[in-house]
Amino acid sequence: MKRIGSDYQGNNQCTFRVWAPEKERMVLDIVLPQPQRIEMQPEAEGYFYVEVSDLPPGSQYFFRPDDQQSYPDPGSRFQPQGVHGPSEVVDPAAYAWQDAAWRGIPLPEAVIYELHVGTFTPEGTFEAIIPRLTELADMGINALEIMPIAQFPGRRNWGYDGVFPYAAQNSYGGPEGLKKLVDACHVAGIAVYLDVVYNHLGPEGNYLSEYGPYFTEKYCTPWGNALNFDGAYSDGVRDFFVGNALYWIEDFHIDGLRFDAIHTVFDQGALNLWAYLYSKVHQLELKLGRTITLIAESDLNSPHILKKPEAGGFGFTAQWLDDFHHSFYAVLDEKEGKKRYGDFGRMDQIAKAYTDGFVHSGEYVSFRKRKYGASSAGIPGDQFIAFLDNHDQAGNRLLGERLSSLIDTERLKVAAAALLLAPYVPMLFMGEEYAERAPFLYFIHHSEPELIKMVQEGRKEDFKSFSEDQAHVDPQDEQTFRDSILHWEERTQGRHELIRQWYKTLIGMRREIPLLQNYCKNDVRVHVIDESGYVLFRQNDSGQEHLMAVFNLSTQDISYTVPPLEHTWKKILDSKEANWLEDSQASPAIDHVYDKTLLTVSPWSVTVYQSQPERV
């Protein structure tokens, strides 16, 4: 696989390579330090190449396909002046890494934290995150999932409008800032997963079509024509994006990648894009001596995503488990839960989310107007990422409300326990761990008036059925972005501190209780109590250790008779004890319970018991 873009070799020597299979000529148009135009030489498979001397790091350039208009490098490593400006030569050896001993975090041990660089701190940069790593590590968080950082237009964006997949966003601190962050994370014992977008590029600054047939009219996505992964000239497109994945892993020491909406990536080739990517990443793993995590966002509810290519699958390590979120949200938010997720909201679906994974596994689904999904019952829990909130769930609401703004403290505690006691790899959305009050709104910073208007009108149309009597938030307005910045300083105050300690306690339990690290679904049972609650049973693989969590998801007391077992249950966590309450009266459950004990459980509460071999 050829390395595209500028590749600095040291001693002011730099090579340049660009893929443009239908172009007859390519000119390297250097603008700094001294303007010059250099003819590039054609190579096999549609590439053009040139090696240049006396060109130091920091030099800036364009390419001129067929010696016509100049455009930035599709494989640019840095866009210091934004998406329309020149590309810059970067010295990959200039940064002195400090993480030589780092070997990563096994995914089953991960507690993932999704964050958006621009709104995580007031500064909105990679380096501004570093001082907060100690606090995150102290919480028990050991993996960051960073929303896309490929260069996008302007200074503010979710990142899914990126147009230079190889260039770390300039306003975040560029490639050097990203390397500093990754290095600091590894020193703190935190893995870094990067969200990448291989299903589309943003509209502004997207110059790929000026170079070659990157897109196809054969398929259509929500963002327009799909990327050309299986048509004529698709080899170059596949190598461009697979090379991008390898670039982040090797040059930036990234521990894994999260792939956006893979169901909108179309490839009917014998060796599809994901199997090709898997093989190249596996080769790189052997070279680097560390495991790389590949996480899919998929709307298919298909176990095919998680099978190895030799078994006919795509080879992803894990995938996001949307059904877990939907099952709980439909019950947690009585006002809008079932309105938004009408095919969810039953206790047996919550039970299935725990014991199987996919809730919709072949049944007729009203929202989709067809049968949907396949069973995931045999897939280990550590191949699923479960969550209560994420950038989509909050940001795709009209007012960007987080779950912590939609439900009260008691429900939040129940929800957190439901997630962190589940047999899945948990993911928190930044600020979730202390009930952040700021919304996470959708924001952009485009420069083209027509495009801005299209986005504004598109958002209004998206929310038409939900917001007839509410004002719409303007995504282009800078205040929309500023309203989304975390109030980090409030995390140790009042309700925020209570929730922070609750999350820290639950994460600590995952670390300290070995059976909570057992991802075998055969060792998970759920007993449903009418439509009011459920009891979650977890055990270790030998069946010698047990945990019982009783959840009341209703406004009334519920009762449950403890099944006969040869041990005593000792209470280890109770959301209704005084130290976990804001101001209401404590109503704790019994400290020790035995077989056939009738437990009465308070409204919206969770009580957790661990087995003891003998009665006390």
Query: pLDDT tens digit string along 93-110?
Result: 999 999 999 999 999 999
Q: Are residues 51 and 166 in the same domain?
A: no
Which residues sit opposite 48 in a β-bridge? 18, 42
Instruction: With respect to residue 557, please indicate whether it lies within any of the assigned structural domains.
Output: yes
- Are 144 and 21 part of one and the same domain? no
Say whether both 373 and 234 belong to one domain. yes
User: Do 281 and 336 share a domain, yes or no?
Assistant: yes
Confidence of residue 616 (pLDDT cuts 50, 70, 90): very low
Asked whether residue 95 is domain-assigned, the answer is no
Residue 570 shares a structural domain with residue 471: no
CB atoms within 10 A of CB 294: 21
Domain end call among 481, 507, 533: 507
3-state secondary structure of 471: coil
Q: Give per-residue pLDDT as tens, 243-259.
A: 999 999 999 999 999 99
397 plus 273 within the same structural domain:
yes
**Numbered residues of the known binding site for substrate:** 258-263, 322-326, 391-396
Spatial distance between the Cα atoms of 422 and 2, rounded to a whole number of angstroms: 43
Q: Is there a domain that residue 120 lies in?
A: yes
Within 10 Å of residue 289's Cβ, how many Cβ atoms?
8
- Residue 109: exposure state from Cβ atoms within 10 A (0-12, 13-18, ≥19): middle
The rounded distance, in Å, linking the Cα atoms of 181 and 170 is 14
Q: What's the burial of 84, exposed, middle or buried (CB within 10 Å: 0-12/13-18/19+)? A: middle
Looking at the structure, tell me whether residues 503 and 584 fall in a common domain. no
pLDDT for position 23: 98
For 403-429, the pLDDT digits (tens) are 999 999 999 999 999 999 999 999 999
Catalytic residue among 7, 183, 255, 297: 297
Mean pLDDT of 38-56: 98
β-strand 370-371 against 364-365: which pairing, if any?
A: antiparallel
Q: Which of 443, 478, 507 is the last residue of a domain?
A: 507
Burial of 11 (0-12, 13-18, 19+ CB in 10 A): exposed
When pLDDT is cut at 50, 70 and 90, the band that residue 516 belongs to is very high
Separation between Cα atoms, residue 130 and residue 87, nearest integer Å = 27
Number of H helices, E strands in the chain: 15, 30
Residue 465: the pLDDT is 67
Cα separation, 414 vs 576, whole angstroms: 10
Distance CA 193, CA 50 (A): 34
User: Do strands 605-612 and 546-552 pair parallel, antiparallel, or not at all (unpaired)?
Assistant: antiparallel
Entry pTM:
0.97
Task: Give the integer Cα–Cα distance in Å for 277 and 314.
Answer: 9
DSSP 317-365: SEEE-HHHHHHHHHHH-TTTHHHH-TT---HHHHHHHHHTS-S-SSSEE
Beta carbons within 8 Å of 471's beta carbon, 6+ residues apart: none
Residue 601 CA to its chain's centroid (Å): 35
Alpha-helical regions (H) of 130-272: 133-139, 174-187, 234-251
Q: If 0-12 CB within 10 Å is exposed, 13-18 middle and 19+ buried, where does residue 365 land?
A: middle
Q: What whole-number distance in Å separates Cα of residue 405 and Cα of residue 382?
A: 29
Residue 238 and residue 354 in one domain? yes
Tokens of 362: 């072949």
Write out pLDDT tens, residues 52-81.
Answer: 999 999 999 999 999 899 999 999 999 999
Mean pLDDT over each residue of the chain, to the nearest integer? 96
CA 18 distance to own-chain centroid: 30
d(CA 65, CA 18): 10
Report yes or no on 101 lying in a domain.
Answer: no
Same domain for 23 and 118?
A: no
Print the domain residue range for 590: 520-612
Q: How far apart are CA 73 and CA 245, in angstroms?
A: 18
Is 515 part of a structural domain of the chain?
Answer: no
- Whole-number Å distance between alpha carbons of 138 and 145: 17
* Contact criterion met (CB below 8 Å) for 432 and 440: no
Taking the C-alpha atoms of residue 532 and residue 534, their distance in angstroms, rounded to an integer, is 7
CA separation for the pair 12, 518 (Å, rounded): 53
Same domain for 597 and 475 = no
**Residue where a domain stops, chosen among 474, 507, 540:** 507
Return the number of other C-beta atoms located less than 10 Å from residue 559's C-beta: 12
**Annotated catalytic residue, options 230, 260, 267, 574:** 260
Our answer to whether residue 260 is catalytic in this structure is: yes
Cis status of the peptide bond prior to 33, with omega within 30 of 0: yes
- State the binding site: 258-263, 322-326, 391-396
CATH, residue 541? 2.60.40.1180
Residue range 455-489, pLDDT digits in tens: 999 998 888 766 555 678 999 999 999 999 999 99
Strands (E), 204-290: 215-221, 224-227, 256-259
Question: Which is it for strands 318-320 and 384-387: parallel, antiparallel or unpaired?
Answer: parallel
pLDDT for 280-329, tens place per residue? 999 999 999 999 999 999 999 999 999 999 999 999 999 999 999 999 99
The neighbour count for residue 268, using CB atoms within 10 Å, is: 10
| pLDDT > 90 fraction of the chain, expressed in percent and rounded | 93
Q: What's the structural domain count of the chain?
A: 3
3-state secondary structure of 533: strand
Q: What is the mean pLDDT of residues 260-279?
A: 97
Q: 76, 164 in Cβ contact below 8 A?
A: yes
Nearest to 423 by CA among 369, 385, 477, 458: 385
Whole-number Cα distances in Å, 301 to 214, 249, 322, 397, 489: 28, 28, 9, 23, 39
Residue 103 lies in a domain: no
8 A C-beta contact, residue 2 and residue 37: no
Supply the CATH number for residue 400's domain.
3.20.20.80
18 and 157 fall within a common domain: no
pLDDT given at position 469: 58
Q: Quick: pLDDT tens for 190-211.
A: 999 999 999 999 999 999 999 9
Percent of the residues in the chain that have a pLDDT greater than 70, as a whole number: 98
Q: Are residues 415 and 530 both part of a single domain?
A: no
Residue 300 DSSP one-character state: S
Residue 29 belongs to a domain: yes
> What pLDDT is stored for residue 135 in this prediction?
98
